[in-house]
Amino acid sequence: MNDAPQLDERLHEIRERVVARNVADSAYLRVADEILESISVALPRHPEWLEDQLIERVFEPERQLVFRVPWTADDGTIRMNRGYRIQHSSALGPYKGGLRFHPTVTHDVVAFLAFEQVFKNALTGLSLGAGKGGADFDPKGRSPTEVMRFCQSFMTELHRHLGATTDVPAGDIGVGEREIGWLYGQYARIVNRVEAGVLTGKGLDWGGSHVRKEATGFGLAYFAEAMLAERDEALEGTTCVVSGAGNVARYTVAKLQALGAKVVACSDSGGTVHDPDGLDLDAIVEIKEVRRASLEEYLQVRPEAEHMPAATPWSIPCDAAFPCATQDELDEEDARTLVANGVRLVAEGANLPCTHAAIGVFLEAGVAFGPGKAANAGGVATSALEMRQNAGRTAWSFETTDARLRDVMVEVHRRCMDAAEELGRPGDLVLGANVAGFRTVARAVRALGAV
């Protein structure tokens, strides 16, 4: 269990009950503590939050699904994984959030992701409820037909719980456009309906939206731009490092480069590539997206770069750092190293990539810090735009969708800034995101009565 946070004394009993109910889920409880800390600051302005077990009702998922996923390997043997979908909140709209296929997926991982998603989705202002799902399936080393059969079996169980106005999954780690295609194909076959709005992240030819693929990374760069603008700074001319080499990382690199930054590092589960002249993004896309290989192969294209096996990018001097791989990938020591090397901005593309202690180091050092639930909201925001296009049977241009994404990110940033300012902590985006998100969901849950 985590150390108890500093809380208004009336919140301690609530925390005790939340801990008792979720004692095995440490990552979920970390999020709960961070939200409670922020609630504690805002409570004097919101005494109604203590009524009717409101806080506990926001913290408790509406429904949690755990299911067996049997599938057949290419060698004919039958395999089995555990699938999850946690439908956390429908107060603001249909459950919305990604699916993760990775061997590290547990109930705790899905629970914390679904819980974060509640506040993230509220911050977008786009009428989105929240959920998250996935499986402890490892796609690495599996043939495309094995991954397809897994997706089909996963959807054979999950389909009965989904719907364009009920629950709308998307991708996350290990689930990209390819997997969304197989999931969507199986859904449509089972229900015998073309219901494009049941999944987002679809391909452009079959109901997808322009910019959804790029959205999380582009949105992260737009959010960082807005953060720096507060300090009369810009991304142009900065040196940046990004972790990960997946969907979020690649399009973060792309937009940072387009905005005039030099991105000198990215990583995957095998280590970090450091290219002081600036990354060759085409080479990374070819290695990671097309060939699904290790970043080590980058040296075949750029022999002057360095590959650091088993290392993260955080020891490389930079102005701005963007953790875009996974949870807990940047700890207190990494944060101290970044600060000592002069980092001025850290914005989270991944969900919960910086540990609680690392965030403390950044805030204490005056580094501009953008928490994931705000900074990476561009992905789900563009999913909401995809849902709108599906509902209206229309398709917007790349430029229109990108401009809307940028507006949403500026608005998310403003909501967080305003909430922090009101509470006397100007610029504290952690507090601002938590309070602005919680306030919106709590208001809706209160209005809906005992549901």
Residues that bind ligand 2IT (CB under 6 A): 96-98, 120, 170, 172, 200, 351, 379-380, 383
245 binds, among ligand 2IT, ligand NDP, none (CB under 5 to 8 A by kind): ligand NDP
Among residues 94, 174, 313, 371, the one that binds ligand NDP under rule CB under 6 A: 174
* Euclidean distance between CA atoms 208 and 201, whole angstroms: 6
Nearer to ligand 2IT, 5 or 97 (CB): 97
Which one of the listed residues 96, 120, 132, 262 is annotated catalytic? 132
278 binds, among ligand 2IT, ligand NDP, none (CB under 5 to 8 A by kind): none
* Euclidean distance between CA atoms 117 and 122, whole angstroms: 8
Nearer to ligand NDP, 20 or 310 (CB): 310
Residue 24 tokens, joined? 């095995």
Q: How far is the CB of 428 from ligand 2IT (least distance, A)?
A: 22
* Euclidean distance between CA atoms 185 and 154, whole angstroms: 12
Instruction: Give the burial class of 258: count Cβ atoms within 10 A of its Cβ; 0-12 exposed, 13-18 middle, 19 or more buried.
Output: exposed
Nearer to ligand 2IT, 172 or 428 (CB): 172
Nearer to ligand 2IT, 57 or 120 (CB): 120
* Euclidean distance between CA atoms 75 and 174, whole angstroms: 22
Q: How far is the CB of 383 from ligand 2IT (least distance, A)?
A: 3
* Euclidean distance between CA atoms 354 and 346, whole angstroms: 10
Q: How far is the CB of 201 from ligand NDP (least distance, A)?
A: 7
* Euclidean distance between CA atoms 379 and 249, whole angstroms: 12
Q: Does 219 bind ligand NDP (CB under 6 A)?
A: no
Q: What 3 state SS string does 227-272 have?
A: HHHCCCCCCCCCEEEECCCCHHHHHHHHHHHHCCCEEEEEEECCEE
Span near ligand NDP by CB under 6 A; candidates 66-74, 321-329, 430-438, 443-451: 321-329
Q: Does 199 bind ligand NDP (CB under 6 A)?
A: no
- Cβ-proximal residue to ligand 2IT, closest one: 98
Q: Does 349 bind ligand NDP (CB under 6 A)?
A: yes
Nearer to ligand NDP, 89 or 252 (CB): 252
Where is 429: in which H helix or E strand?
helix 429-447
Q: Does 323 bind ligand NDP (CB under 6 A)?
A: no
308 - beta bridge partners?
272
Among this protein's residues, is 120 annotated catalytic? no
Q: Does 355 bind ligand NDP (CB under 6 A)?
A: no
DSSP assignment of 314-346, as one string?
Answer: GGS--SEEE--S-TT-B-HHHHHHHHHTT--EE
Q: How far is the CB of 46 from ligand NDP (least distance, A)?
A: 28
Give 93's DSSP letter.
S
For ligand NDP, the binding residues in 90-129 under the rule CB under 6 A are: 98, 102, 104
Q: Are 153 and 182 in contact (CB under 8 A)?
A: no
* Euclidean distance between CA atoms 215 and 17, whole angstroms: 38
Q: How far is the CB of 173 from ligand NDP (least distance, A)?
A: 4
Nearer to ligand NDP, 53 or 269 (CB): 269
Q: Does 245 bind ligand NDP (CB under 6 A)?
A: yes
Among residues 228, 248, 346, 354, the one that binds ligand NDP under rule CB under 6 A: 248
Q: How far is the CB of 119 from ligand NDP (least distance, A)?
A: 13
The residue whose two tokens read 């209206």 is: 392
Size of the site for ligand NDP (CB under 6 A): 27
* Euclidean distance between CA atoms 298 and 302, whole angstroms: 6
The residue whose two tokens read 């290790």 is: 294
Nearer to ligand 2IT, 15 or 120 (CB): 120
DSSP 3-state assignment of 64? strand
Pairing of β 239-242 and β 320-322: parallel
Among residues 172, 275, 319, 402, the one that binds ligand NDP under rule CB under 6 A: 172
The catalytic residue positions are 132
Q: Which residues bind ligand NDP (CB under 6 A)?
A: 98, 102, 104, 171-174, 176, 216, 244-249, 268-270, 288, 324-326, 349-351, 376, 379
